[in-house]
Amino acid sequence: MRKATMKAMLAAGAVFMATGAAYGHGDVNPQPVDTAGLPETGEEWLTENPYRAETAGEEVWLKAVEIGASGYNQNCARCHGLEAVSGGLAPDVRMLEAEEYGDEWYVERFREGYTQNGITKMPAFGELLGQDAAWAIRTYIETRPDTETMDELSDELKALRDTLAGYAEDDSGADYEALKTRLAEMAAGIETLSGAPVADSVAFRAANLIDGSKAAYKSAAETLTVGLSAAK
Ligand code: HEC
């Protein structure tokens, strides 16, 4: 009896240690995601992302990207990589098609996680985070910009960042429409790997911010700085 208990405890300990080793990243508890501001998706799990701009409108889509970014960083980045650029520990999720086929696969993994030979390689998130968080994170993942294009554009983006930072101090002679147009053009040329129509790139964000005010030049310059340093 005692022996059996001991054995069970050891076995439990072994499983615990194996799981810990498999994660290798310390805390693996799913972190709740605050989805306030997003339309609720309800009890029944959908098979297609409801927060795309085509279905939900641009405002919901932008909100989903924002909430999804924080949900992703807290729950997925340690395995799937910062900005969803995989470091090899887990698959690169940017490639999943932004349509029902990719969504179904995404949502299955999100809900069930992945266990191999009794070892949890990816925890199940469905119950703990819920459906709204699932699709917000999905929206963030599928709108990541292609990093190769971002690298090609980085010199011009840096130059634009410096121009914007200058205008934040002194905007005499600033042609904000020309700047906005150029950034929007660059943004339009940046693709996603998922096939989603619009990439949430720093060029896209900066273009949206610029409105001719000094404050907007400043925040657009900051947005570019953060994005460019994240991309190295
Ligand atoms: C502890 C590490 C870990 C964490 C945390 C993690 N994953 Fe995973 N994920 C994996 C591994 C490993 C696989 C590969 C499983 C397999 O072989 O199918 C995977 C597979 C996936 C897949 C399938 C990808 C494909 O191309 O087949 C998706 C989608 C996915 N994860 C999404 C997420 C999301 C979203 C989060 C955060 C909410 C997350 N994962 C958190 C490790 C993790």
How far, in Å, CA of 111 to CA of 99, rounded? 18
- Closest atom, ligand 1, to C-alpha of 92: 26
Closest C-alpha to 171, from 209, 218, 204, 223: 218
Q: Domain ranges for the chain, please list them.
A: 31-142, 147-230
CATH class of 31-142: mainly alpha
Q: Whole-angstrom distance between the N-terminal and C-terminal Cα of the chain?
A: 60
Model-wide pTM > 0.95: no
Question: Each residue's pLDDT tens digit in the chain (232 positions)?
Answer: 454 544 554 444 444 443 333 444 444 688 999 999 999 999 999 999 999 999 999 999 999 999 999 999 999 999 999 999 999 999 999 999 999 999 999 999 999 999 999 999 999 999 999 999 999 999 999 999 999 999 999 999 999 999 999 999 999 999 999 999 999 999 999 999 999 999 999 999 999 999 999 999 999 999 999 888 766 5
Residue 29 C-beta-side C-alpha neighbours within 13 Å: 2
How far, in Å, CA of 148 to CA of 31, rounded? 31
Burial of 201 per CB tally in 10 Å (0-12, 13-18, 19+)? buried
Closest C-alpha to 72, from 134, 120, 27: 134
Q: Residue of the nearest CA to atom 7 in ligand 1? A: 122
Q: Is the CB of 22 under 6 A from ligand 1?
A: no
Q: Residue of the nearest CA to atom 43 in ligand 1? A: 122
Q: Give the contacts of 193 (CB within 8 A, at least 6 positions apart).
A: 92, 94, 95, 144, 146
Q: Residue of the nearest CA to atom 30 in ligand 1? A: 109
